[in-house]
């Protein structure tokens, strides 16, 4: 579904996107350019950032890097992770994001998370204003459940809008999206650019024998991934990767990309060296047998309905 999001020059989204959540803090500015160039050399045209990343440095640095290539880039940012999804907060954050990115127009603007307190009508009325001014081309929602996406789609329609893209978490140890979110996006023709294909670094296998990295430095990621069963998956993945003479990260990213409902996984790394195994997944041909083998070392989430034994 890569044609569902495109560059201003009309090119479809690349097979992978790159996420700049580390730009300016985890990744010093000089490495950001090297990483950007590496991605571009591999044909990546989707770049993701957010208002909340690295106190604005991510957007500022990305804006500088894409300046020369702008028409050939799918530029995605996200708003309202902090504060509400109400019109004034969206407008304030989006204006600031465009200033940092040095862009009048952003290709995809995501609502970063669901907001229980703000009626969706308020949010989409604001998105409609952005769209009518030519400030956005496509609308996305991130971290939404399937019913929340469908509700947003219904409200969007009343403003003549659609939900074009979603950004869920998805990787070998976080497979919830398979139950409702991915089938929904396929049925509704919504593009999917999922995040954290390496489980924040877990699926590189490095935590098998060390305790350094995001999972120990960021308590949110520790709570998400620092679990015995998830470490077991990472260990099994490392063994299978060794048998295939490939980096575990390459297999983990290729596993995400193998799902036909995925448009472009958002890969990331703090250095060009870290990023390389994820980039290698772009050309890794995963056989159906290997895909099945990898599925067996992960937890398959239960289905959404309880009468599957009667399904034909
Ligand atoms: N919508 C949302 O709520 C949301 C949430 C998260 C991310 N995102 C987006 O998705 C993008 C990717 O997410 P992510 O950063 O979580 O992706 P990820 O691929 O799961 O994790 C990347 C991290 O793994 C570690 N790593 C990667 N390659 C490695 C290697 N070869 N060796 C050792 N460690 C390695 C690094 O962290 P350490 O070195 O610190 O261990 C790196 O920062 C983000 O940049 C952002 O754009 C969106």
- pLDDT, one tens digit per residue, over 75-129 is 999 999 999 999 999 999 999 999 999 999 999 999 999 999 999 999 999 999 9
59 CB near ligand 1 (under 6 Å): no
Of 52, 266, 276, the residue with max ligand 1 atoms within 8 A of its CB, to mutate for a pocket test, comes to: 266
CA of 268 to the centre of ligand 1 (A): 5
Of 198, 222, 234, 256, the residue with max ligand 1 atoms within 8 A of its CB, to mutate for a pocket test, comes to: 198
Q: Are 252 and 222 within 8 A, CB to CB? A: no
Q: Are 184 and 211 within 8 A, CB to CB? A: no
CA of 138 to the centre of ligand 1 (A): 24
Q: Which ligand 1 atom sits closest to the C-alpha of 198?
A: 20
Cβ neighbours around 52 below 10 Å, total: 19
Domains of the chain (ranges plus CATH)?
A: 2-167 (3.20.20.100)
CA of 222 to the centre of ligand 1 (A): 13
Dist. CA 75–CA 49, nearest whole Å: 8
77 CB near ligand 1 (under 6 Å): no
Q: Which ligand 1 atom sits closest to the C-alpha of 49?
A: 47
Cβ neighbours around 131 below 10 Å, total: 18
**pLDDT at residue 309, rounded to an integer:** 78
**pLDDT at residue 307, rounded to an integer:** 84
CA angle in degrees (0–180, nearest 5) for 185-189-193: 55
180-215 residue pLDDT tens: 999 999 999 999 999 999 999 999 999 998 888 999
Q: Are 226 and 213 within 8 A, CB to CB? A: no
11-59 residue pLDDT tens: 999 999 999 999 999 999 999 999 999 999 999 999 999 999 999 999 9
CA of 89 to the centre of ligand 1 (A): 27
**pLDDT at residue 221, rounded to an integer:** 96
C-alpha dihedral (66, 67, 70, 74), degrees to nearest 10: 30
Rg (CA), the chain: 19
Please give the mean pLDDT across all residues of the chain. Answer: 96
Mean pLDDT of 131-146: 98
**pLDDT at residue 3, rounded to an integer:** 64
CA of 304 to the centre of ligand 1 (A): 29
CA angle in degrees (0–180, nearest 5) for 71-73-77: 120
For the entire predicted model, the pTM comes to: 0.98
Q: What's the number of CA atoms in the CB half-sphere (13 Å) around residue 27?
A: 26
108 CB near ligand 1 (under 6 Å): no
**pLDDT at residue 2, rounded to an integer:** 58
Q: Are 182 and 167 within 8 A, CB to CB? A: no
Dist. CA 60–CA 41, nearest whole Å: 22
Note the Cα 278 to chain centre separation in Å. Answer: 14
308 pLDDT exceeds 90?
Answer: no
CB-based contacts of 75, cutoff 8 Å, min separation 6: 47, 62, 66, 101, 103, 106, 107, 108
175 pLDDT exceeds 90?
Answer: yes
The phi-psi region of residue 119 (left if phi > 0; otherwise alpha if psi is between -120 and 50; otherwise beta) is beta
238-295 residue pLDDT tens: 999 999 999 999 999 999 999 999 999 999 999 999 999 999 999 999 999 999 999 9
**pLDDT at residue 4, rounded to an integer:** 75
**3-class DSSP string for the chain:** CHHHCECCCCCECCCCEEECCCECCCECHHHHHHHHHHHHHCCCCEEECCCCHHHHHHHHHHHHHHHHHHHHCEEEEEECCCCCCCHHHHHHHHHHHHHHHCCCCEEEEEECCCCCCCCHHHHHHHHHHHHHCCCEEEEEEECCCHHHHHHHHHHHHHCCCCCCEEECECECCECHHHCCHHHHHHHHCCEECCECCCHHHHHHCHHHCCCCCHHHHCHHHHHHHCCHHHHHHHHHHHHHHHHCCCCHHHHHHHHHHHCCCCCCCEECCCCHHHHHHHHHHHHCCCCHHHHHHHHHCCCCCCCCCCCHHHCC
195 CB near ligand 1 (under 6 Å): yes
Reported confidence tier of residue 312, pLDDT bands at 50, 70, 90? low
């Amino acid at each position: 579904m890569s044609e569902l999001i495109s560059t201003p020059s009309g090119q479809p989204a690349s097979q992978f996107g790159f996420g700049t959540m580390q730009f300016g803090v985890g990744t010093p500015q000089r490495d950001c350019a090297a990483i950007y160039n590496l991605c571009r050399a591999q044909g990546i045209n989707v770049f993701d950032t957010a208002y909340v990343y690295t106190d604005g440095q991510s957007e500022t640095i990305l804006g500088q890097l894409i300046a020369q290539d702008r028409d050939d880039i799918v530029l995605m940012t996200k708003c309202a992770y902090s504060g509400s999804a109400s019109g004034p907060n969206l407008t304030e954050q989006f204006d600031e994001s465009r200033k940092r990115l040095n862009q009048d127009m952003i290709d995809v603007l995501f609502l970063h998370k669901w907001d229980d307190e703000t009626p969706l009508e308020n949010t989409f009325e604001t998105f409609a204003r952005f769209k009518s001014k030519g400030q956005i081309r496509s609308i996305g929602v991130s971290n939404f459940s399937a019913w929340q996406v469908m509700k947003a789609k219904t409200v969007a329609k009343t403003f003549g809008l659609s939900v074009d893209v979603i950004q869920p978490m998805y990787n070998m140890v976080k497979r919830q999206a398979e139950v409702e979110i991915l089938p929904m996006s396929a049925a509704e023709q919504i593009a999917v650019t999922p995040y954290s294909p390496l489980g924040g670094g877990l699926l590189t296998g490095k935590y098998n024998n060390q305790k350094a990295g995001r999972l120990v430095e960021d308590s949110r990621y520790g709570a998400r991934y620092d679990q015995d069963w998830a470490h077991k998956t990472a260990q099994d993945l490392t063994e299978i990767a060794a048998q295939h003479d490939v980096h575990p990260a390459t297999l983990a990213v290729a596993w995400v990309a193998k799902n036909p409902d995925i448009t472009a996984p958002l890969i990331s790394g703090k250095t060009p060296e870290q990023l390389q195994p994820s980039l290698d997944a772009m050309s890794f041909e995963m056989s159906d047998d290997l895909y099945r083998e990898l599925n067996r070392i992960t937890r398959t989430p239960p289905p959404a309905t309880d009468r599957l034994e009667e399904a034909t």
